[in-house]
Amino acid sequence: MSIPLMHDDQHGTAIISAAALLNALELVDKNIEEVKFVVSGAGAAAIACCNMYLALGARVENIYMFDVNGLVATSRNDLSEQMKHFAKSGALLSVKEALLNADVFLGLSVGNIITGDMIKNMGEKPIIFALANPEPEINYEIAIATRPDAIIATGRSDYPNQVNNVLGFPYIFRGALDVRATSINEAMKLAAVRALAALAKEPVPDMVNVVYNEKNLHFSPSYIIPKPIDPRLLTTVSPAVARAAIESGVARKPITDWETYESELYSRLGANENILRFINNKAKQEPKRVVFAEAENLKILKSAQQVKEEGIAIPILLGGEKKIKALIQEHQLNLADVTIIDPKSEEQEANRHKFGALYFEKRQRRGVNIYEAKKLMRDRTHFGCMMVETGAADILISGLTRQYPNTLRPALEIIGVRDNVKKVSGMYMMLTKRGPLFFADTTVNANPTEQELVDITLQAADFVASLNIKPVVAMLSYSNFGSSISPETIAVRNAVEQVKILRPELIIDGEIQAGVAFDKELLRENYPFSSLVNDSPNILIFPNLASGNIAYHLLQEVGGAEAVGPILIGMKKPVQVLQLGSTVRQIVNIVAIAVVDAQCRC
């Protein structure tokens, strides 16, 4: 048909398992030409896998293939032409017998047909690919307990080393289609194999670590193949396949400018969305109870519905029950089973009394009497803060219809700041073409002192690290390392030195101009001593609120970046204060970030 055609369940499995095999063999220091294979399954996928292994150097005499009728042998008269290539002469071994001193087991059959006893006598450091789904040929826990020296892969996402076709086929076809390939040939498949294998040896993006709740995924027996959500798959596999198509003569539209092509792939990827998607996935792993203090607002209800349906959070709605239910019914929202609490209702009198007493205890020497304390508990923000403080909820979301200070003040009075934190601060995550950038302080502290700059920096670094992103800090000014002297530049410079003493492992430098902080060549030529020479900053600390606020607005409006925030950092428990007029998307993003924050505090 002169169009690219590939049976994914057959050749996709072969490509992904071959990439995993190459890396596994490298880790156990074995030569593919010498290893012994035992294969459970003789269907299309198994045949394709074995053929791919042969193309990589495996020897057919070292492959023992089994189907439902036993060993694929020359004495049988029921073999297909494809199976005959792997047929063995001589004694009809059982799978257990064949596994004696075997180096590799490949399962593409049915679940639970291999026991721990059967793999005991495999060779040293065996490779076990049990790819039947949903139940592998051998249970993962049994396999690793029986052979702790083994490298094990399955087709499942809840175990290390998921061999899944989604690692290959979208990107293989992307490369084939982009060069208008007339077919997907063996050269293109092998290119995909080698590209996948090489990618597993590269440093893993922080956002991938976030999703899998890992601190540092790296090439090892538990990471021999990239994760399916790795954003680099598109920009790694597709160009490799496209190059192979051109070199093998099946491309009708060759690519000549590879740098431009990879940039186009990157733009198709929608990189600005990646970190949000990964944060959402992380939140879904352990949803938290989120109190929405302004649930009489339609935007809040739509946001609550979205986080509920996506499994990001468990919403609790504060407000008049009749009004909330009327809005839910009018707009046909799926919130029928969500908890609604009216702080003013008679049903909440006991809670108002309890919360008021606790508030009075906190504020009795700050001008609040017991009557006022209990009366304030009719206010939804105060009531919601008390729910979080007493453990009735995990997170408070408020501020959509209120001025920022009017929401922040009750949170500070009731929940307070983290230990060793004197002041909270505000931050925006800016989604840019170069990846996420974190701007602080952009919402709270107008003219921070030297010590406050230190606190803001440490809070921002801790928050970014909680997302499993390595913090790299540039403390900004109009001066570069003493080129101008003023009280402001000296404060920034001194703050940098204090942070370095408190956190010597943190990559940080300043005072520095924003443009210089990102210009590697200029830094190398003029400031080779800077710790930012080799690491681009992802946290920008501004000398005052005005500069931070102006910068994020300019980047958003003129630079085309998306602003996620404001993100309140430094609170003892998760509280997020929405910006007036926030969209549903912005609210959902903040909820997801707050849930991940709450998870990290457990």
Neighbouring-strand partners of residue 151 = 127
Q: What is the distance of C-alpha 474 from the center of its chain?
A: 24
Q: Map tokens 């003129």 to a residue.
A: 558
Q: Is residue 587 part of a domain?
A: no
* pLDDT tens for each residue of 88-147: 998 889 999 999 999 999 999 999 999 999 999 999 999 999 999 889 999 999 999 999
Say which amino acid occupies 218.
Answer: H
pLDDT score recorded for residue 215: 65
Tokens read off for 147: 């052979």
Nearest 5°: phi and psi at 490? -65, -40
Low-confidence ranges of the chain (pLDDT < 70): 206-207, 210-211, 213, 215, 267-274, 602
Residue 584 falls inside a structural domain: no
pLDDT at 207: 65
**In the chain, what is the straight-line distance between the N-terminal and C-terminal CA atoms, in Å?**
57
Q: Choose among 92, 93, 137: nearest CA to 119.
A: 137
Note if the pTM is more than 0.95.
no
Separation of alpha carbons 156 and 202, rounded Å:
23
Residue 464 · residue 471 · CB < 8 Å: yes
Does one domain contain both 261 and 291? no
Q: Tell me the CATH number at 390.
A: 3.40.50.10950
State the CB neighbour count (10 A cutoff) for residue 337: 6
User: What is the C-alpha separation between 160 and 220, in angstroms, rounded?
Assistant: 10
Residue 515 sits in a domain of what CATH number? 3.40.50.10750
On the question of a cis peptide bond just before residue 574, with omega within 30 degrees of 0, the verdict is: no
Same domain? 377 vs 340: yes
Polymer length of the chain: 602
- Computed on alpha carbons and rounded to an integer, the radius of gyration of the chain in Å comes to 29
Shared domain for 117 and 29, answered yes or no, is yes
Look at the chain and report how many structural domains it folds into: 4
Structural domain including 321 reads 285-414
**Residue type at 234?**
L
Residue 355 lies in a domain: yes
* Pair 244, 343 in one domain: no
Contacts of 67 (CB under 8 A, 6+ apart): 41, 42, 43, 83, 109
Query: In whole angstroms, what separates CA 23 from the centre of its chain?
Result: 23
Asked if residues 594 and 601 have their Cβ atoms less than 8 Å apart, the reply is: no
- The residue with tokens 């707050």 is 594
